[in-house]
Amino acid sequence: MFTVKSQLSLDTVHEALVIGVFEKNQPLDGIAAEYDRRLGGQLSVLFKEGDISAKKKQISHVHTLNQAGAKRLYFVGLGKKDALTFEGLREAFGKLWKTLKQAKRTEAAVALDTFVTDDIDANEAAHALSEAYYLATYEFPGYKQKKNEPEKRIETITIYTEADAAEIEASLFVGSVYGKATNSARTLVNTPGNLMTAADLAGYAVELAKKYEFEYEILEKEEMERLGMGALLAVNQGSKKPPKMIVLKYQGREQWDNVIGLVGKGVTFDTGGYSLKSRESMVDMKTDMAGAAAVLGAMEIIGELRPEQNVIAVIPATDNMISGEAFKPDDVITSMSGKTIEVKNTDAEGRLILADAITYAKHHGANYLIDVATLTGGVIVALGVHTTGAMTNNEALFEQLLEASAETGEFIWRLPITEKDKERVRSSKIADLNNSPGREGHAIMGGAFLGEFAEDTPWVHLDIAGTSVAAKDYDLGPSGATGVMVRTLATFVERFE
């Protein structure tokens, strides 16, 4: 896919050559100036007349009419040089790859050094380029009958740079790992619920474990009953399909200590149970396992890059269905931790299965916990669809995760958990906890409930109900599943101290 070279000649043949351009007052410089001279100053004229733009994320292209080796020059507008961020560069590359894909180009070259600034070096630019390529060109294969015509897509990308080739190749590899793993999560989430059951999710996790030599464990229903996982089992009661508790263990240190626990909600389809969702709200509930997909995507990156960390991934998987056996409002259930829960809303099921998963992660020695879940509609009301909600009991842990999210562009915003909030989830008169003590501060109630099971273990809760799916195409992907938090979790693990 990627080839790194040092010398770019104006006579080198390419279907498309990509050049980054910044807003500035001086004439074209570098390789752009060389092509301008070859083309008789016509590029300068096009810039002056606005046919080529250096404005942020503007993609312009010019056919050289066989006056140079490159058939077409693609100019990527980067805005002001001192204002370009890594995230902005990644988005610009994303828009570029979408443009080239739509134009059905099969080969391209990139003058990488034209994207470098004082704050973004060639290695970072290479990472952004590679990651953006995989994110932006992703498509869910779907289930339509296939046409006989082969699909045209970019198969070869040549990178020209004066930077160290081995380092650039390493950065391209890391970027591709991040992009591919995010796409893996997207595909899991986009898959219909009848084709992505708890057993299917467990099977995927086992294949991942075998590929990367993780230790793994898949708990069956009988084992959950023996361990007292009453919360997960209650949610599964209405289903004909058995639940799975999925565990992946990666040991990157000699001793099993300082263990990071990643816990992902794996509700493969959510009807709401007897607290039945409306027809409109039930559509797309195949995506209610996006937290599980995020954890599996992060584990793919961890398997590829092998950081010196210890990680335990725990995914409770089931659907939430209705039958004569299904759990009901007013039921009281006993979780693995021993805490009893009064069920006031069977559609607040994610926090129930996560309760047992958090307890089981601690059972496996997790010293730090991050749970990821499409938990509440309330977080969408509070923060919209571009920001993930977060809650925590530990400032230092949250700050490290916040830094990782800023680096990946997957933004999070902290919501508070006060003593009054804790009192509300403990408000049941007949059990230790109430799983749904009212609509006020609904997102916070979900997080506060999970905090009762994290207890004193440093913990962060991520509510991705708004960010796990995009309603329309964007620079780094199509509509549908976003794979949000895959890259943040992996970056957090890699940098964790």
Would residue 71 show up in a list of annotated catalytic residues for this protein?
Answer: no
Cα–Cα distance list, 208 to 228, 293, 340, 360 (Å)? 28, 12, 35, 21
Q: Which residues in 347-400 belong to E strands, given as ranges?
A: 366-373, 388-392
* Number of Cβ atoms within 10 Å of the Cβ of 86: 18
- The reply to whether 121 sits in an annotated binding site is no
| Element housing 332 (H / E) | strand 332-334
The two structure tokens encoding residue 221 = 């229903």
- The reply to whether 330 sits in an annotated binding site is no
Q: DSSP string covering 114-156, please?
A: GG--SSS-HHHHHHHHHHHHHHHT-----SSPPPSSPPP---E
Q: Distance (Å, rounded) from C-alpha 17 to C-alpha 87?
A: 22
Q: Distance (Å, rounded) from C-alpha 102 to C-alpha 122?
A: 27
Which entry of 351, 362, 424, 487 is annotated as an active-site residue?
351
Which entry of 277, 328, 414, 422 is annotated as an active-site residue?
277
Q: Identify any residues that bridge with 463 across adjacent strands, giving them in sequence order.
A: 373, 389
- The reply to whether 347 sits in an annotated binding site is yes
* Number of Cβ atoms within 10 Å of the Cβ of 158: 18
The two structure tokens encoding residue 210 = 């075998």
Q: Distance (Å, rounded) from C-alpha 465 to C-alpha 202?
A: 22
Give the residue among 51, 62, 55 at the shortest CA–CA distance from 23: 55
Q: What is the chain's percent helix, strand, coil content, to nearest 5?
A: 40, 20, 40
Q: Identify any residues that bridge with 392 across adjacent strands, giving them in sequence order.
A: 460
**Which residue, chain included where needed, has tokens 């099921």?**
349
Main-chain phi, psi angles of 434, to 5 degrees: -115, 125
What is the phi-psi region of residue 213: left when phi exceeds 0, alpha when psi lies from -120 to 50, beta otherwise? left
Count how many Cα atoms sit within 13 Å of the Cα of residue 390 in the half-sphere of its side chain.
24
Residue type present at position 151: E
Give the residue among 304, 354, 366, 330 at the shortest CA–CA distance from 462: 354
Q: Is 459 helix (H, G, I), strand (E, B) or coil?
A: strand
Do the Cβ atoms of 364 and 258 come closer than 8 Å? no
Give the ranges where 228-369 is alpha helix by DSSP (H).
230-236, 279-282, 290-305, 350-363
Give the residue among 348, 450, 331 at the shortest CA–CA distance from 390: 450
Q: Identify any residues that bridge with 270 across adjacent strands, giving them in sequence order.
A: 320
Would residue 253 show up in a list of annotated catalytic residues for this protein?
Answer: no
- The reply to whether 270 sits in an annotated binding site is yes
* Annotated binding-site members: 265, 270, 288, 347, 349
* Annotated binding-site members for Mn(2+): 265, 270, 288, 347, 349
Give the active site residues.
Answer: 277, 351
